[in-house]
Amino acid sequence: MFEIVAEKGRARAGVVRVGNITLETPAFLPVATKACIKTITPFEAKEAGCKAIIVNALHIYRRVYDIVCRIGLHNFMKWDGIIFTDSGGFQSIKKFPAFVDEEGVIFKMPDGKEEIFTPEKSMEVQRNIGSDFFFALDDCPSYPYGKERVKKAVERTIKWAERCQGERCFAILQGGVYEDLRRYCIEKILPMNFFGFAIGGLCIGEPKEEMHKIVDITTKILPKEKPRHLMGVGSPEDIIECVNKGIDIFDSAFPTRNARHGTIFTSKGKINLGKKKVKGDVIDEECSCYTCKNFSLDYLNYLFKEKEPLGMRLATIHNLYFINDLMRKLREEIVEG
Amino acid sequence: MFEIVAEKGRARAGVVRVGNITLETPAFLPVATKACIKTITPFEAKEAGCKAIIVNALHIYRRVYDIVCRIGLHNFMKWDGIIFTDSGGFQSIKKFPAFVDEEGVIFKMPDGKEEIFTPEKSMEVQRNIGSDFFFALDDCPSYPYGKERVKKAVERTIKWAERCQGERCFAILQGGVYEDLRRYCIEKILPMNFFGFAIGGLCIGEPKEEMHKIVDITTKILPKEKPRHLMGVGSPEDIIECVNKGIDIFDSAFPTRNARHGTIFTSKGKINLGKKKVKGDVIDEECSCYTCKNFSLDYLNYLFKEKEPLGMRLATIHNLYFINDLMRKLREEIVEG
């Protein structure tokens, strides 16, 4: 169930409730592709304010399917929050032994054997590993693309969506930067039985204005009463803008990847760590994360200079806290009008 | 002050007391060369049972001397335990822009400028950065070496030791695998004013029997009432054997480096992580470290398979806990007779 508790313009504050699960929105999901948020423990993620994460089902299937089926993904990685799982469709745009055809996503197992994620297989795997929320299998063409390729992807995504429907599943909407294809995809998928709708195929290289235009169009058409997920968006500015357009849930590797490369978000803007000119005691005066409470900017900067892995981890904790805190503030603003 | 509280054969249980500082021996110091135990926080090191660490003074001098002089090493790295500092002599055997001559250790600063650690300069730096225990500047030839080179190193080490004497300083004894040179070095350095004596120049490639032979000879000559430090030894078997020969303090990168490469110590022997055949729920039944309490062997093994940095960190915590627990048990055995 998804309930909207407050609105401000097009922005919404909501609650996702399924069984014991409660997720206040707007919410951000860090990426834990391989059942691990890179460099940090699940306990640290929780302390940094994370309530839900997104794991790649295809990766789990290829690497540790047996054991995860047996004990469940939550137990395997010791995460007691909410788990969303990616369907495997996204793999089509990654360097990975995978490609897409009419049947589904074809990939190689570590032993070289070819296998296929059909829509049904992707759902089965996501269910078997104990995910809380699934994504439908989609075809996500890599950028730059031609309109013909995107059109084919939309047709496939619609056909596959039909076979993925379910009460815990988000449909994925494709259509690239093409308004007509986006509208067509939405029109076909809207009547289907999904928990919510995810905007896919953005933030993969297209100009930022195009991304915002498509989010704008899409959120205007989507039904109010269902949660809206935007895939791949994770910068503070983009999140703020997209919350104001009516997005409820985000997932992205942006905050964690930036952290590992030494870029942290602060209340006064970005800091690029590992540089001589970065100096000071306090990392971010307004932040109460584990890193800011315990370490100085000088030390964190030094760790990056020296390429000490501890630096990546402390920066990851900080960036996740920063983004989660941003989500909390955005929600507060909406609730308070 | 060093007090022996119990003896069993040649093994000793002691207490180092200086100011507010108390260190029960036998004790193990993990290596925090760059003011960071690789991959873990100082809080995790403490939770894993670490009471004292060893930092490289030359590294601090080359990289962050100004700030560390100003706020102190403890504050800079947020470690409230005991800090031992390496003099810089060890650099002579590392790939590093440093070499040794009669005057001291010559090295390049990051800007290319040449500088020198004379014995006095090394002491001054160790004092200025706020170390609790210093090591005298020594000349440690790299292995394999000829007897002539080691003889020269011994002469230098003796001359330099004279200029490093002090109540918080450990002398370093050199002499390679040569009994006569070792005896000569000890004879000359013993009368000097040092807090304790460290056996240097071992565990750098020589056969293990030679290492044990030299430790045996040395501990038989050293005065009972002063603490004995063995540099570079850190495997569980070697630690046990050397405690039984009368060593009080050890420092080594062995447990942490092994952890990062996926080798963990357990009550049932070593496990090499990242391998297909490694399976199971419990990492080490007899271990109560953070890693063993919170994660499964399957997950830890999987993290190494996937080269997830979290694995290195969890393994580091485990290995340090294991070694510290070993030290505790060894002490208990000595105290209980």
Contact residues, chain A, for B36 at CB < 8 Å: 303, 306, 308, 310
Bridge partner residues of A86 (DSSP): A56
| Confidence (pLDDT) at A92 | 54
pLDDT-derived band at B23 (thresholds 50, 70, 90) equals very high
Which residue is associated with the tokens 């001397």?
Answer: B65
Residues of A engaging B, defined by a Cβ cutoff of 8 Å:
34-36, 38-41, 43, 63-64, 67, 76-78, 294-296, 298-299, 302-303, 305-306, 308-310, 312-314
For the segment B327-333, the average pLDDT, to the nearest whole number, is: 98
pLDDT tens-digit readout, B140-195: 998 999 999 999 999 999 999 999 999 999 999 999 999 999 999 999 999 999 99
In angstroms, the CA A335 to CA A14 distance is: 9
The nearest alpha carbon in chain B to A302 belongs to: B64
pLDDT-derived band at B92 (thresholds 50, 70, 90) equals low
Which among A38, A63, A308 has CB closest to B34? Answer: A308
Which among B63, B294, B309 has CB closest to A306? Answer: B63
More confident residue, B290 or B107: B290
| Confidence (pLDDT) at B91 | 63
A86 included as an active-site residue: yes
pLDDT tens-digit readout, B189-213: 999 999 999 999 999 999 999 999 9
In angstroms, the CA B277 to CA A118 distance is: 31
At residue A257's C-alpha, the angle toward residues A255 and A258, to 5°, is 65
CA Rg value for chain A: 20
| Confidence (pLDDT) at B19 | 81
**Residue B20: pLDDT over 90:** no
In angstroms, the CA A144 to CA B32 distance is: 47
B251 included as an active-site residue: yes
pLDDT-derived band at B98 (thresholds 50, 70, 90) equals confident
Contact residues, chain A, for B296 at CB < 8 Å: 76
In angstroms, the CA B322 to CA B318 distance is: 6
CA distance B270 to chain A (A): 23
Which among B296, B305, B309 has CB closest to A39? Answer: B309
Mean pLDDT for chain B?
A: 95
| Confidence (pLDDT) at B176 | 97
In angstroms, the CA B123 to CA B261 distance is: 34
Instruction: Count other C-beta atoms under 10 Å from residue A171's C-beta.
Output: 29
Question: Which residues of chain A are modeled with pLDDT < 70?
Answer: 91-97
Among A101-115, B9-23, B82-96, B221-235, the range of highest mean pLDDT? B221-235
In angstroms, the CA A283 to CA B198 distance is: 40
The nearest alpha carbon in chain A to B78 belongs to: A295
pTM given for the model: 0.97
| Confidence (pLDDT) at A18 | 82
More confident residue, B88 or A74: A74
The nearest alpha carbon in chain A to B260 belongs to: A309
ipTM rounded to 2 decimals: 0.96
| Residue A41 to residue B310, Cβ atoms within 8 A | yes
| Confidence (pLDDT) at A202 | 96
**Residue B218: pLDDT over 60:** yes
**Residue B93: pLDDT over 60:** no
Instruction: Count other C-beta atoms under 10 Å from residue B102's C-beta.
Output: 10
Which among B40, B305, B306 has CB closest to A310? Answer: B40
